[in-house]
Structure formats: structure tokens, C-alpha cells
Structure 1
Amino acid sequence: MVTDLMRRRLRFDAGLADRAHTTLLRAIVFGPEPFQGNRETALVSLAGTLVHEHWHTRQNPFGKTWSFWAGMVTRTHPMQRYERPAYERQAAFLEELAIVRPELGRIARAEARKVRGAFMRHYGGE
């Protein structure tokens, strides 16, 4: 993952309403949200967001189109299938971080809960 991330272009956009997004050219653009809070909270949030967006850089770009049309057919959120694996990897990373860095455990587990809640709020599903 680190070698792959070294090839990615990382940018910051202070006006971005989302935590971050990945462009068609696979650059990762961060908004201000993952940098908020105290140092530990911001580091955990930023790391989780980076895992999420890195997953998007590895997805097939046509996955968004497939997710959209599958959502139309099944009457579920059009981006649910595209976003689910990125949210799952982000939450799994945060749970693992809580184990390997016990001093960040409380923050990482709370962030994992927020991630799962955000997926349910925005995309619904199981």
C-alpha cells in the first residue's frame, strides 16, 4: 500500500464539503474534516480516510457506472455497491489500529463506529 500511495497525487481543498474524494486520474483530494480535532483524533481520522480513498484508487473506474445502474434496478442507493468495500476496509483498518496501538484504541474504535454509521446513513443497506 505504501509504494502505491507514493505514486498517488495527494491534494488538499479547503472548500471540499466531503472528507475526501478520488479523481478520475486517481489523485486523492482531502477536505478539512479529517484534519479536525486534537492531534490523535486527526491522525486516526486522516489515516482511516486515506485507507478509504486508497481503496477507490484500486477500483475499476467503471465500478461507479455499474453501481449506479445496479442501484437503479434494485432501488437501492446508486453508489452503495461502489462505496461498501471502501467503508468496510476503512472500518477494518480502524479496528486493527485499536488493537496494535492501544493508546489510540478508544479514538480508533469511535471512528470505526462513525464510519459504519456514515455508511448506513448515506447509503443504507445491510
Structure 2
Amino acid sequence: MNAALLSGTERAVALFASDMPATYRYRPTDLNQIKAWIAQGAERLGADQVRADEELLRSHNLSLIASSGQPADGSAYRARFPSQRRISRAQSVAGMLPAPTPPPAPAPVPFTVHSFAELVDTGWTAV
């Protein structure tokens, strides 16, 4: 799992599972340490568990928004994230990091039409 490509919520899940202290306070100079904690947590959980926990955390956060602060049933959330202070801190730290950089898009495939007849043969129409 490439920690650099994780979403913000996936990063929070990884930070929760890492050795990051629950009392950690973000400092921009700690960026390498934070990346190391994210990689550590992602490695501990594995890709499938990070995704499952991310979905649980995201749905919990959305239910808080939809219900004005009272989630419908938080038992699965509380079982997975028993320390509210730690998950809150992990989400705060993950939110301070720059957005993940997606891999570059592949180069477009050149397509040249040499004649109208060639265009008709492909099934495309001229505009």
C-alpha cells in the first residue's frame, strides 16, 4: 500500500493504528515523522483493513453531519476506535497534510484522420 496515495480518512486510520502519541501536536517540521507513522499504521493494518476502517470512519463522520451531531448507531465505530481522543487527533493531523499526489495521467493516444472516408470507416461522424 502506497502511503503517499492514501486519502485523508485513510491517513487518519493509519495514524490511529501507528505509534503516534495521542497527545501529539502538529508541527510542519514533523512531516517526515508523520509520513513514517502513516506508513507504519498502514503496514500494521494492511490495505483491506485500512479501506474497511476508512469506510467505517467516513460513514460515522457523515452520520454525525446528517444527524446534527448524534450518530444513529456507533457501536461498530466505538469498537474499532475506542479512544475518541486518539481518533480525533489522528483526523486532525491527517487533515493538516497536503493532499495526496495522484500518479501522472497517461499520455493521450494520437489519433489522426487523413480523409473523410477514413473517418466514415471508423463509425465516427464529422461535426
What TM-score results when the alignment is normalised by the length of structure 1? 0.27
Decide which structure has the larger Cα Rg and report it. Answer: 2
What TM-score results when the alignment is normalised by the length of structure 2? 0.26
Q: By percentage of residues, which structure has more strand?
A: 1
